[in-house]
């Protein structure tokens, strides 16, 4: 843990009241912690980079995706992926690498270099899909040595990126931190069991009768650059974040979880898309 020093200072009453409103006795424990959180967010330069994995074929979303790539499917008048890009921009993440494959040219034509959204977008076109781990590895040359966000291209989530990044930065033993949502039935997702905040088990699509955690991977993570010491594509098989990389990090006690309470949708099937149309409440 970083060394701390005790200080005494005066503060305006209105600012103190505003500071007190951030205290929830869980993520922000007390006034001292609240002040540290506020100062850290103001003075610590967050990462500015993210990788969006949007190379999927969208098979489960057919017939929608025969002519329209899943990232361009409309949600509340905007393409699905634009909601994620807006969230990243609001969180100060402006250097975006997007991996694309199926109907890649349509995604590239729509978003261009990202300048219209106040972003810098670079594309990695994958001719052959070899899993989420390989897609991430393909983006590595476009990243600097700092940590970065990884976001799946078919999720919608309402996440406090500043707090998410801060939690990851404060944990000096974490190589990766997963955003975790709570669901009633985890059987369609990757269920995560925590010990404290450390991930001790990841079960990809557990059977509905199994006794597992109701916390699931929400398709958003933060990784340090040294993840690429672990992400090594295989010649003869796919490389998956969920099936290969997460277990390796868990084995070495380097993977942590960040449960959040905001909205989350995995837009992977027509029925899930119908729920998004009904219930997604955009704030951006």
**Whole-number pLDDT of residue 114:** 94
Q: How many CB atoms lie within 10 A of CB 68?
A: 16
> Which class is domain 44-279?
alpha beta
Count of H-run helices and E-run strands, the chain: 8, 13
CB 233 within 8 A of CB 136: no
Q: What is the mean pLDDT of the chain?
A: 86
Q: Which pair of structure tokens corresponds to residue 24?
A: 């929830």
CA distance 263 to 29: 24
Give the whole-angstrom CA distance, residue 207 versus residue 215: 15
Report which listed range, 74-78, 227-231, 251-255, is most confident.
251-255
pTM for this prediction: 0.82
Bridge partners, 86 (sequence order): none
Residue 177 clears pLDDT 60, i.e. is over it = yes
The predicted structure's pLDDT at residue 213 = 78
pLDDT of residue 222: 97
Strand partners, 60: none
Tokens of 212: 């597992």
DSSP letter string over 220-242? EEEE-GGGGGT----SSS---II
Ordered by start, the domain boundaries in the chain are 14-43, 44-279
Q: ∠ CA(264), CA(151), CA(194), 5° rounding?
A: 65
Bridge partners of 52, per DSSP, are 98, 151
pLDDT digits 0-9 by tens, 115-157: 999 999 999 999 888 899 999 999 999 999 999 999 999 999 9
Question: What are φ and ψ of residue 127, in 5° steps?
Answer: -80, -30
pLDDT band at 1 (very low <50, low <70, confident <90, very high): very low
């Amino acid at each position: 843990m970083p060394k701390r020093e005790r200080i005494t200072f005066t503060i305006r009453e209105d600012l103190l009241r505003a500071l007190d409103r951030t205290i929830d006795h869980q993520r922000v424990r007390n006034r001292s912690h609240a002040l540290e959180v506020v100062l850290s967010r103001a003075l610590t330069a967050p990462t500015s980079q993210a990788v969006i994995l949007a190379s999927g074929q969208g098979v489960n979303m057919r017939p929608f995706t025969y002519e329209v790539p899943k990232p361009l499917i409309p949600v509340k008048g905007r393409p699905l992926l634009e909601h994620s890009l807006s969230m990243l921009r609001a969180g100060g993440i402006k250097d975006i690498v997007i991996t694309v494959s199926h109907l890649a040219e349509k995604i590239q034509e729509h978003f261009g270099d990202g300048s219209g959204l106040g972003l810098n977008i670079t594309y990695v076109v994958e001719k052959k899909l070899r899993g989420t781990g390989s897609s991430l590895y393909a983006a590595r040359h476009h990243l600097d040595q700092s940590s970065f966000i990884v976001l799946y291209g078919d999720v919608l989530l309402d996440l406090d990126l500043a707090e998410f990044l801060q939690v990851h930065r404060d944990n000096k033993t974490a190589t990766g931190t997963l955003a975790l949502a709570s669901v009633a039935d985890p059987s369609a997702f990757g269920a995560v069991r925590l010990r404290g905040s450390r991930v001790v088990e990841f079960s990809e699509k557990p059977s509905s009768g199994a006794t597992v955690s109701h916390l699931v991977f929400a398709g958003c993570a933060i990784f340090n650059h040294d993840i690429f010491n672990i992400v090594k594509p295989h010649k003869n098989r796919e490389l998956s974040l969920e099936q290969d990389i997460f277990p390796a990090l868990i084995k070495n006690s380097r993977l942590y979880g960040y449960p959040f309470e905001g909205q989350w949708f995995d837009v992977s099937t027509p029925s899930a898309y119908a729920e998004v149309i009904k219930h997604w409440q955009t704030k951006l």
